Structure 1
Amino acid sequence: MLRSCTLLFLGICLTATAQVVPTFDDLWIPMRDGDSLQADVYIPAGVDSAQVVLVQTPYNKDLYELGLPMGIGWNVDDQPYIWVFVDWRGFFGSSNADPTGSTRGADGYDVCEWIVQQPWHRDRIGTWGPSALGNVQYLTMAEQHPAHACAVPLVSDPQQSYRSYYTGGVLEQARLNSLTLLGFGTFALVTANPYYNTLWQLTEASTWYPPTIAIPTLQIGGWYDHNLDRMLDLYAGARAEADTSVRDEQWLLIGPWVHGGTGPAFVGSAVQGELTYPTAERVNDSLAWRFFDHYLQDVPNGWEATPRVRYFELGGSGLWHTTNDADLGDPSTTTLYLDDNGGLGSWNGTGSTMFTSDPADPSPTIGGATLSLQLDQGPYDQDPLDTRSDVISFRTPVLSAPVQHTGRARLDLRVSADQPDLDIAVRLVDEYPDGRSMLITDGIRRMRLRNGYTQADEAFMSPGTVHSVEVELPFTCYTWQPGHRIQVMISANNAIRYHVNQQNDGPMYLPGDTNIAMITVHHDLQYSSALHLRGSNAPLGVVGQGAVPVHVHPNPASDRLFTEGLRGRWQVIAMDGRKVLEGDEVEQGISLGSLVPGPYLLQARDGQDDLVHVRFVRQ
């Protein structure tokens, strides 16, 4: 079982049946504690000596006999580097080495020391690898072997942090189970510490590696990778805290990619989930080759002029963006308010929306930034969720212009319920003209931890009380195209990716009784709920499906307000949420004589029966 799992978690595409034969197979590399690690070495034909690319893996070095990474496959002789693959201490060929005898970083240093003593090694070593193979590169970098010249970690985050296991205070259970299955003994420690505490503080401080970086790196990530958010923090840390001699030699590439290892998609493949990104295919490999050629072979390929950050725009444009800034986020904010009848627009909403949550039948995970053999990865159609009674959706009118977002979206909600605890799970979606609801990103927050993640922060909900909660979504770059809709789905579960809340006031993560919760999301003027996107966009919610503009005039108005593009029953709402006027038709205009001067919202339907709000001023 472990072998089949490690094949999936390699993060490379292995489709052939033939094998690559190592030049040296099952070599033993001595470590400082007296143990040895097992390694394979691949040397191109006719090469006496060359620069080395080192890969340290817990997933079985022998699997690379099915094909080498970075697009090499079986063509070892068609590239200039010697490749060394080493099994981690305690894993596969190195399973007899005592896992407590040394550290991963010290082992990496000792492997480098062995390499430089080999007659086929020239003078420099680069490192490469995804996921755990990327994490170990940071540990090796921290030891600062003089021959270690550069590193390419992919979809990796070496910091052991509270938020890497608990998203919004909710255990990412499926990923933790996967790590346990793969032999990483973190389950007991993580589950014993569900609150942020001193142990987490010490662990985070001891595994924060940017200050130890003293060589150039090319970090490669994907928008659908679970590590992406923390990887961005790691990159910003490297730009600010790495050795001053290399702070300007830290590069970052972010594509439309998943973490890989649990399905057909991988970093660099064109197909990701149910979507295809042809302009992103193998961009990671081409950039890594240029990086290695520059730092390992002094090839004059213009690498030094490469922008420090290159990132892909999701949403169908196929565009790549570049910047030299470590912070990619758009400083502007576009706020969209949740509204009655599932609306989402630029003006404060009205009313509230109720749904139920039954822990015995949780809303399921469909794609996303997952890591589990039981779950799909990447963008998948969320439409099956729309038919469930435990999921509510809010949509903009059909867009007449693109809406751009680069950063961490945030959903600020006002919530009440009849149970002391529950989770708020949010999915940000692009609703296509053909009806598909493609997942962009998602987040979750445990209500008892809405004020913070320490045990002292814990506060249960009171029945009948409206509570504020903030759900932050991972960083992404997305553009909704004209003809599409922005959609937000809200539920109380995202299972099996996240632990299912029992919705009681008992201890978390222990067996107990479960409660069905009646949950109300409030979205009126007194208790507004809103989605905050990062981007400068025109106000939304005033254009219907037919892209017919909605106008009111004059604005400000004194005695009478006239409209264009609205029909049927209407309401005028004061800024405190009171309904102050209503009527059946707007064609003859609206008499404002009874209103005191001030701002108001006109609520009505457009020609496509979309609910819209238009702000006006009575003077």
Structure 2
Amino acid sequence: MRYILLLLVLITTPLSAQFNWTEAEIPVRDGKSLAADFYSTDSTKAKPVILVQTPYNKNLYRLASQLPPEAVTTFPLDEAFHYVILDWRGFYGSRDAGVAGYDRGLDGYDAVEWIAAQPWCNGKVATWGPSALGAIQFQTARHHPPHLVCAVPLVKDFKVKYSDYYYGGEYRKSHVEALQKLGFFVTSLILDHPTNDFFVKVVESGSDYPEEFNVPMLVVGGWFDHYPDDVLRAFEDIRTRSSAEVRDQHKLIFGPWTHSGVDKAEQGELEYPTGANVVNFASLQFFHYHLLNAENSWQLKPTVRYFQLGKDRWMEGDSWTGVVAKTSPKSFYLRNSGVLSTNSIGGPDFPPVTFRYDPRDPSPTYGGSYFDPFNKDAAVGPYDQREVVESRNDAVIFSTEPLEQDLDVTGPISIELFVSSDRKDTDFGVRLCDVYPDGRSMLLTQGIRRMRFRDGFTPQDTSLITPGEVYKVTVELQNLAVTFKAGHQIRVIITGSNYPHFDVNPNTAAPLYQSPDSLVAINSIYMAPQYASRLVLPVPQASGVEHQNNINASSLQAYITPNLLQDRATLSLSLPTRSNIQIALFDLSGHQVSGSWTYQLEAGEQEIPLDLPTLSAGIYFLRTIVGEKVTSLPLVVE
């Protein structure tokens, strides 16, 4: 028997290998029907059902190894549940049901209620899915289907807004064009509204409805996703504005993931072993708790769990805003020598730094939150910027000296620049990197700002600049939880473009996206005393992220190492103080399947060999109690 540390079941093999599937036609209120597949290990038993609504072709789930990255890469399979995979109205098997402008949330309602009425359903239905499959869950939940019990939307916000398609006023070119290829809309609709105008605000207002959510939600986001800030904001809205009966039941998991890389260890050119296989295990615990009334301690899980990059640790909090509230801004000032310095004193010996931006040869996108599901070789996530970006002559680079001690950063990041250009409009793009002692310059996040939008994004805010005049412009980056380790450097790369993640600015005064020509711009960054260009990082007020989040709740780190040759496993612990440890093994329903072990351990790194009982194949969790801290670790038996 093998014990394997695994929090999810990867669908790299056909679902049909474990589950039998049958086709179904689900009738909806306008007289049409939607194509679906019903998956079950035993359809004679009434079980809770997990509904997945997809625009990416339900048939791919029959042979899941062929799933495209924009669809889904992991799936919370468990024989305790049945599953229904449904094609969206207007897509694939439901193509003939397409009706322009129809509210697909109503289809979700109708599907939930049809499922609940089937003899193989016990009357309880949940929803699950990432990206577009997450958006449809919000749209379904707002209509209150009576038999919907809970939802797990991953890497998606419920609100449609200007910043979905424009970042700092710059068109998210590759992202929007990919959405058009996927069949969601045409790019002309987005390009017709390059400002945050009345039409865009009406759309945003109509999609802002967290008050209408009345079921518990497990929300998931990633630091290398397209919209980490939007998922964080969405969860805050759900926690504070949803139905009062469920506000305290929502939970957030935020990991080191790209959009299509949730639950994977490998992200870009880095690996985060403790970030792997987290969400599916949590999803199954969530489903067992809400759908099967399992006593599995789900309610004791922290409201917010987030991954601290650099330290590669999971942290906890009651809310993300509460975590950020315990930080203070720390400034790193740009110097023309290429240094980022905490010394704010400038002088006349700090003349501006000038660089050339040619729209016909833009600085290339390499990694980050880039989105192109049609290019399997696209670099996404943390990538070394030295060869592709930093080696070019259109990049200006600023770095700290190697840090003498760890620096924790938790919250929104920005850079304030004082700039000028010889053109009436241009862009300033920023990339933030963690430079390793071996020289690797690993991208963490990126942003951009179009100068005509320096004062805001409404039509009234926009104005061209005067060539040669100095302006202050803020480039908003994103929220991050990252620790720059001792010996590492913090680096900022400034360019005039980041293509094709963002469209190029032609450097003309022409109306937006209507200029057939382009001009080369000579752009300058100022650093004299009156022009304090600086990077602003949110740094915890106390020493260390763990302390500011309650050391008992955050500093315990634990993981299981499997031994494939014996019926044994090793529990590794990192303890802040001498502690009493209680350990027991449970199944997903919360039933204890082993005796309890008790240990008294000294502070530091500790390992406990575990003699495990003979178990049938399935997913279990090891409950570890240290003081008031309860940690659940997954264990899969094959």
TM-score, reference length from structure 1 = 0.81
What displacement does 1:47 show? 5.1
Match of 2:51 in 1: 54
What displacement does 1:21 show? 7.8
The amino acid that maps onto 1:298 is N
Indicate how the Cα distance of structure 1 residues 231 and 331 shifts in structure 2: closer, same or farther if over 3 A, else same: same
- Partners of 2:177 and 2:464 lie apart in 1 by 28
Q: Within the alignment, does 1:481 sit opposite 2:485 as a pair?
A: yes
Does the 8 Å contact 1:403/1:537 carry over to 2? no
- Partners of 1:279 and 1:63 lie apart in 2 by 29
Q: Within the alignment, does 1:310 sit opposite 2:314 as a pair?
A: no
What displacement does 1:19 show? 4.9
Match of 1:410 in 2: 414
- Partners of 1:538 and 1:494 lie apart in 2 by 36
Map residues 595-610 of structure 1 onto 2, 5 A cutoff. Answer: none
Match of 1:203 in 2: 203
The amino acid that maps onto 2:248 is D
The amino acid that maps onto 2:57 is N
Does the 8 Å contact 2:15/2:61 carry over to 1? no
Match of 1:191 in 2: 191
- Partners of 1:355 and 1:346 lie apart in 2 by 24
The amino acid that maps onto 1:44 is T
Match of 1:289 in 2: 284
- Partners of 2:380 and 2:418 lie apart in 1 by 31
Q: Within the alignment, does 1:514 sit opposite 2:518 as a pair?
A: yes
Match of 1:42 in 2: 39
- Partners of 1:103 and 1:456 lie apart in 2 by 33
Match of 2:472 among 468, 471, 475: 468
Q: Secondary structure at the match of 1:160?
A: coil
Indicate how the Cα distance of structure 1 residues 480 and 93 shifts in structure 2: closer, same or farther if over 3 A, else same: same
Match of 2:502 among 495, 498, 502: 498
Match of 2:182 in 1: 182
Q: Within the alignment, does 1:340 sit opposite 2:344 as a pair?
A: no
Identity over aligned pairs, percent: 39
What displacement does 1:48 show? 1.2
What displacement does 1:18 show? 8.4
- Partners of 1:434 and 1:16 lie apart in 2 by 39
The amino acid that maps onto 2:316 is T
The amino acid that maps onto 1:269 is K
- Partners of 1:423 and 1:58 lie apart in 2 by 35
The amino acid that maps onto 1:255 is G
Indicate how the Cα distance of structure 1 residues 400 and 423 shifts in structure 2: closer, same or farther if over 3 A, else same: same
Map residues 159-308 of structure 1 onto 2, 5 A cutoff. Answer: 159-260=159-260, 266-308=261-303
Q: What whole-Å deviation, never above 9, does each CA across 1:71-114 have from its counterpart, x for those lacking one?
A: 569xx6x5210000000001011011123384111000000111
- Partners of 1:301 and 1:70 lie apart in 2 by 26
Indicate how the Cα distance of structure 1 residues 47 and 267 shifts in structure 2: closer, same or farther if over 3 A, else same: farther
Map residues 106-145 of structure 1 onto 2, 5 A cutoff. Answer: 106-145=106-145
Indicate how the Cα distance of structure 1 residues 392 and 71 shifts in structure 2: closer, same or farther if over 3 A, else same: closer
Match of 2:597 in 1: none
Match of 1:64 in 2: 61
What displacement does 1:133 show? 0.2
Match of 1:445 in 2: 449
The amino acid that maps onto 2:392 is R
Q: Secondary structure at the match of 1:342?
A: coil
Alignment: residue pair count: 520
- Partners of 1:13 and 1:61 lie apart in 2 by 17
Match of 2:394 in 1: 390
What displacement does 1:323 show? 0.7
Indicate how the Cα distance of structure 1 residues 39 and 303 shifts in structure 2: closer, same or farther if over 3 A, else same: same
Match of 2:316 among 310, 319, 322: 322
What displacement does 1:186 show? 4.3
Q: Within the alignment, does 1:430 sit opposite 2:434 as a pair?
A: yes
- Partners of 1:472 and 1:72 lie apart in 2 by 34
Does the 8 Å contact 2:51/2:84 carry over to 1? yes
TM-score, reference length from structure 2 = 0.79
Q: Within the alignment, does 1:376 sit opposite 2:383 as a pair?
A: no
Match of 2:148 in 1: 148
Structure 1: gaps spanning 5 or more residues: 1-10, 261-265, 540-619
Does the 8 Å contact 1:21/1:65 carry over to 2? no
Does the 8 Å contact 1:405/1:535 carry over to 2? yes
Moved more, 24-33 or 276-285: 24-33
What displacement does 1:422 show? 0.7
Does the 8 Å contact 1:210/1:242 carry over to 2? yes
The amino acid that maps onto 2:385 is Q
Measured on the aligned residues, the alpha-carbon RMSD in Å equals: 2.0
- Partners of 1:272 and 1:502 lie apart in 2 by 33
Q: Secondary structure at the match of 1:454?
A: coil
Map residues 4-15 of structure 1 onto 2, 5 A cutoff. Answer: 14-15=11-12
Does the 8 Å contact 2:35/2:86 carry over to 1? yes
Map residues 521-540 of structure 1 onto 2, 5 A cutoff. Answer: 521-536=525-540
Q: What whole-Å deviation, never above 9, does each CA across 1:255-311 have from its counterpart, x for those lacking one?
A: 000001xxxxx2101101100000111111111111111000000011111110000
Does the 8 Å contact 1:20/1:65 carry over to 2? no
Indicate how the Cα distance of structure 1 residues 538 and 55 shifts in structure 2: closer, same or farther if over 3 A, else same: closer
Q: Within the alignment, does 1:331 sit opposite 2:334 as a pair?
A: no
Q: Secondary structure at the match of 1:107?
A: helix
Does the 8 Å contact 1:270/1:280 carry over to 2? yes
- Which structure is larger by alpha-carbon Rg, 1 or 2? 1
Q: Secondary structure at the match of 1:483?
A: coil
Indicate how the Cα distance of structure 1 residues 51 and 224 shifts in structure 2: closer, same or farther if over 3 A, else same: same
Q: Secondary structure at the match of 2:302?
A: coil
Q: Secondary structure at the match of 2:232?
A: helix
Does the 8 Å contact 1:309/1:326 carry over to 2? yes
Q: Which has the higher contact order (CA 8 A, sep 6+)?
A: 2
Moved more, 62-71 or 472-481: 62-71
Moved more, 306-315 or 183-192: 183-192
The amino acid that maps onto 1:319 is R
